[in-house]
A and B are shown apart, each in its own frame.
Chain A
Amino acid sequence: MSGRVLVGVKRVIDYAVKIRVKPDNTGVVTDGVKHSMNPFCEIAVEEAVKLKEKKLIKEVVAVSCGPQQSQETIRTALAMGADRGIHVEVSGKDYENLGPLQVSKILAALAKKEDAQLILLGKQAIDDDCNQTGQMTAALLDWPQGTFASEVSLEGDKINLVREIDGGLEHIKINTPAVVTADLRLNTPRYATLPNIMKAKKKKIATMKPADLGVDLTSRLEVLKVEEPPQRQAGMKVETVEDLVGKLKEAGRI
């Protein structure tokens, strides 16, 4: 086993920013807006670095697909403890159409190229909320998947996982190589402080294009319109119970 872990990190609009829809309803305003690493990706990076600190794996490689600015996100992963980065350059129209299917094709190709033992991803991105990349990557590689992981432990060549599901917690054991997606309670990600960022400048980031991996980026989806959610209707206060019953009858509720 190579002992190499691939961690996918995505550059998204910062979670605390108020999102605004573009006036032409084609998308969301991203120019000049603060971006950062997807919170679930941070948890994935932290888990990979923790595994390396426990000497259970040998190398953590951070991967990001996107324009030039994605390198900042990779730098943050390097500052958190990743060993090296891979930037798959996708920009312009290709980047607008980049979705889980394309990213999972890229990750699958990289996993084979880098002989990865484990792929760690966030469970979903906070911008598109697809929750598909991990699952698709596992399917393309025909690897087992442990999604919504809230606990991960390596046992020989198997992985013990606790998954957060609707009914509670599910304990599973899967073979490696595998794909694992991180849920909120997996760990507490460390903050990439300035001294760590400075040290990470020495680490290498390799750049490549999707074509170098033989990946076709055509999307089968087309965004028709993006609009704001409906405004929340103001509530109404009534004086008596009779008023309440009257209003409910008016609204056709009773």
Chain B
Amino acid sequence: MANPLKTEVIRLYKNLLYLGRDYPQGSAYFRQRLKSAFMKNKDVTDPEKIKQLVARGDFVIKELEALYFLRKYRAMKKRYYEPEK
């Protein structure tokens, strides 16, 4: 892998791993899926393709943040507020 891209990929992996601690089905399950997803692409050498994959990874980060927020919001709404008629 080209050097600047290598740091990008490692940064992405670390960020996703950190996010995975709050994953609803458990951080171990998340880590397993994360590792296999990265391992599946370990032989990719084309810089363009790597950039695309990293961008997809960043998108997954946004999706996870949205998931966590919605779960929490819905739980709080259910617990503390009257159901809407």
**A residues neighboring B (CB under 8 Å):** 15-16, 39-40, 126, 184, 188-189, 191, 193-195, 197
Contact = CB atoms under 8 A, between A and B. Distances in A.
Contacts of B80: 184
A15 B76 contact: yes
Nearest to B24: A16
B71 interface: yes
Interface in B37-85: 61, 65, 68-69, 71-73, 75-77, 79-81
B76 A193 contact: no
Interface in B1-53: 14-15, 18-19, 24
A194 B76 contact: no
Nearest to B71: A16
B15 A15 contact: no
Nearest to B62: A191
21 contacts: A15-B72, A15-B75, A16-B24, A16-B71, A40-B76, A126-B79, A184-B73, A184-B76, A184-B77, A184-B81, A188-B69, A189-B69, A191-B65, A191-B68, A191-B69, A193-B15, A193-B19, A193-B61, A194-B15, A194-B19, A197-B18
Given A16-B24, A16-B75, A191-B19, 15 more contacts: A15-B72, A15-B75, A16-B71, A39-B72, A126-B76, A126-B79, A184-B73, A184-B76, A184-B77, A184-B80, A189-B69, A191-B65, A193-B15, A193-B19, A194-B15
Nearest to B79: A126
Given A16-B24, A16-B71, A188-B69, A195 B15 contact: yes
B79 to A, nearest CB: 8
Tell me the interface secondary structure of chain A in the complex. loop
B18 A193 contact: yes
Contacts of A16: 24, 71, 75
Nearest to A40: B76
Contacts of A188: 69
Complex A-B, nearest 4 residue pairs according to Cβ-Cβ distance, in ascending order: A194-B18, A191-B65, A194-B15, A184-B76
A93 to B, nearest CB: 30
Nearest to B81: A184
B54 to A, nearest CB: 15
Nearest to A189: B69
Contacts of A184: 73, 76-77, 80-81
A171 to B, nearest CB: 20
A195 B81 CA distance: 34
Nearest to A195: B15
